[in-house]
Amino acid sequence: MAEEEAPQTIGEAMGKPSDTTELEALFGVDVEITAVLGTATMPISQILKLGRGAVVELNHGVGDDIEIHANNRIIAMGEVVVIEDRLGVTMTDIIKLTGSATD
């Protein structure tokens, strides 16, 4: 049995055809892309004590892959990179999307 090949683009992950003529009306729609560096859970009492200079330890380590979201839906995994004086994300794995957009 052949293993299913991982999608190479977000379009492939959505099951969209490579001919995108029918989607051209949507090409100008903005989508918010978010790179999630990590999360933390703490009690409100601890949050209320946070101030300038406080450090919140996240659940990801240096070099760990991070989640990339489009409109709050995970679409890929990636790693943080530095581009001149800005941060960026290199996509390392495209997530195969399942279910409806309202999940």
**Domains of the chain by start residue, with CATH:** 30-103 (2.30.330.10)
Express each pLDDT in 72-92 by its tens digit. Answer: 999 999 999 999 999 999 999
Average pLDDT over residues 56-63: 89
Instruction: Give bridge partners of residue 68 from the DSSP assignment.
Output: 35, 76
Express each pLDDT in 30-55 by its tens digit. Answer: 999 999 999 999 999 999 999 999 99
Looking at residue 17, its amino acid is: P
Please give the DSSP secondary-structure letter assigned to residue 8. Answer: S
Q: Give the pLDDT score at 59.
A: 92
In whole angstroms, give the CA distance from residue 95 to residue 103.
Answer: 15
In whole angstroms, give the CA distance from residue 53 to residue 46.
Answer: 14
Residue 15, pLDDT > 80, answer no
Of the chain, the percentage scoring pLDDT greater than 90 comes to 52
15 backbone φψ class: left, alpha, beta (φ>0; ψ -120 to 50)? left
